[in-house]
Amino acid sequence: MNEACTIGARIVRSDDEYIVFKNKDFARRHLDDKIVLASSYFSVEGVTTWDADGTRPDRFAGFSIGINDALLSCCCSNVRSIDEAFPYDLLVRCVVEGSRTFSQAVSRIKEEVRRRPYVWGNLLIATPQEVGVIEVRDRIKVERSQEFAVRANHHLVFGQSPLDDDQDTTENRLNDAREKIERSRSVEDVLALCRSHMPEKGHSSICRHGPPYSTVYSYIIHVKDGEIDFHVCQGNPCEGKYSKIPIKFYPAEQDVYSILTSYPSRYYRAGATPED
């Protein structure tokens, strides 16, 4: 399994406010993000190959989570690893770089999945009007909502498969996230969700404590009144502190400096277009 994340989104007020979260879980306890601040989007790059011991360099491609100047957000979670298939992080990049609406995102991903094989995954998409999930296999299925959406590491529209990487913990994390995101009305509510240890502190909770998997980053995107705050915690969110970073597009030099130096990882590049 490449990673085992829990993701979700909640429309707080239609056309005005929404919140997205992602807890990123790896089979090691530390990761340094690589972030990109371009003129029209902000993103955390995806990690396509990594060493569980952390002794060899990680390889980055695509986006793990991101938001663009249309206030459209996208993030992903793993379902099934497939040798020789392309990482779903490239699909997140495709959405963030080129989509202004949920419908445009669906069309772009449908075409891309027809064109070449991808690892099975969930792409969560949020806009001020709606949230939902594009489930990716050798084709796609879509769930849309004007309230909330959540996923762990299996598909709900396609249904679970005996080929899924996680057969043990995904159901508990999904159920806990669904219950909490439905009741969430604030960033504080979602922070509590990301720190959840239901049913107990360990491998099966949303805030994961391995072995084998631990939460290496927790992210929250908060969009309100056209403004964006990115909350990020490196490591387990129950133990760490979130940095709140206002995101500005087409930023002045001082804004770029403020955003990049506020990030808990110092592994970043600004104004670049990531390569495949």
Mean pLDDT within 57-74: 93
Cα angle 49, 136, 181 (rounded to 5 degrees) comes to 90
Give the model confidence (pLDDT) of 241-254 as tens digits. 999 999 999 888 88
What are 237's two structure tokens?
A: 């969110």
User: Got the DSSP string for 113-176?
Assistant: HHHS-B-EEEEEEE-SS-EEEEEESSSEEEEEESSEEEE-SS-SSS---TT-S-SSSHHHHHHH
pLDDT band at 275 (very low <50, low <70, confident <90, very high): very low
Mean pLDDT within 45-60: 72
pLDDT at 272 over 60: no
The chain-wide mean pLDDT, for the chain, equals 92
* Whole-number Cα distances in Å, 177 to 89, 172, 200, 222, 251: 22, 9, 14, 17, 34
> Where are the chain's structural domains?
6-270
What's residue 252's pLDDT? 82
Per-residue buried b or exposed e for 34-45, using 16+ beta carbons within 10 Å of the residue's own CB: bbbbbeebbbbb
Q: What is the dihedral sign for C-alpha 242, 231, 92, 44?
A: negative
Give the model confidence (pLDDT) of 157-185 as tens digits. 999 999 999 999 999 999 999 999 999 99
What's residue 50's pLDDT? 56
pLDDT at 39 over 70: yes
Give the model confidence (pLDDT) of 194-222 as tens digits. 999 999 999 999 999 988 899 999 999 99
What's residue 1's pLDDT? 44
What's residue 54's pLDDT? 56
pLDDT band at 2 (very low <50, low <70, confident <90, very high): low
pLDDT at 103 over 70: yes
pTM, two decimal places: 0.94
Q: What is the CATH number that goes with domain 6-270?
A: 3.60.60.10
pLDDT at 273 over 50: no
What's residue 182's pLDDT? 97
